[in-house]
Amino acid sequence: MKLVRLPQRLKTISEYIDYNDTVIDVGTDHGKLPVYLAQINPKRVIMATDISANSLKAAFLTAEKYALTKNIDFLVTSGLKNIDLSLFNTIIIAGLGGETIVEILSDIKWQKNGRKKLILQPQSKTNKLCRFLYNNHYNIIDIKTILDNKREYTIMNCSKGG
């Protein structure tokens, strides 16, 4: 099986995901990351979401190309609205602005939803997101800065809840 080719940024994010992790990819767009994660473990519970129906369609087409449409749930929604978070232990939010990531995280009812792994990659306003995580007692496990196509990206491995 030919694995979907990920840019360095998404490859680095994928390295934080364990084989049995159950994953939501928020703002998936092209859907390469959930398709890759479904290739690694076709039995994992995985959902790809996007606020844009067109983006989600692109994700569906990527999954179709790799015959994985039945292995991934697709949902048009803003952030984590209308998602049963108890089904997932890992939330990926990559390529969205730091302020949008803060808004999405602010909506989560942590006590109710148990402990989650969060892999966050803000496209902007990284300081604002860091301050939010710090002030709201998220566990920041590590932060990596990587170069991909001559651009710097910050990837944060955090946890919260439970």
Ligand X SMILES: C[S@@+](CC[C@H](N)C(=O)[O-])C[C@H]1O[C@@H](n2cnc3c(N)ncnc32)[C@H](O)[C@@H]1O
Give residues in contact with ligand X (CB under 6 A). Answer: 10, 26-29, 49-52, 55, 78-79, 94-96, 100
Q: Which of 123, 26, 141, 138 is closest to 81 using CA atoms? A: 26
- Pick the closer one to ligand X by CB: 21 or 50: 50
Q: By C-beta, is 8 or 162 nearer to ligand X? A: 8
Task: In angstroms, give the least distance from the CB of 2 to ligand X.
Answer: 20
- What is the nearest approach in angstroms of ligand X to the Cβ of residue 5? 13
CB of 143 to ligand X, least distance (A): 17
Q: HSE on the CB side for 23, CA within 13 Å?
A: 33
| Strand pairing category for 151-160 and 90-96 | unpaired
Q: Are 23 and 37 in contact (CB under 8 A)?
A: yes
Nearer CB in complex with ligand X: 79/162: 79
CA–CA dist 119, 116 (Å, integer):
10
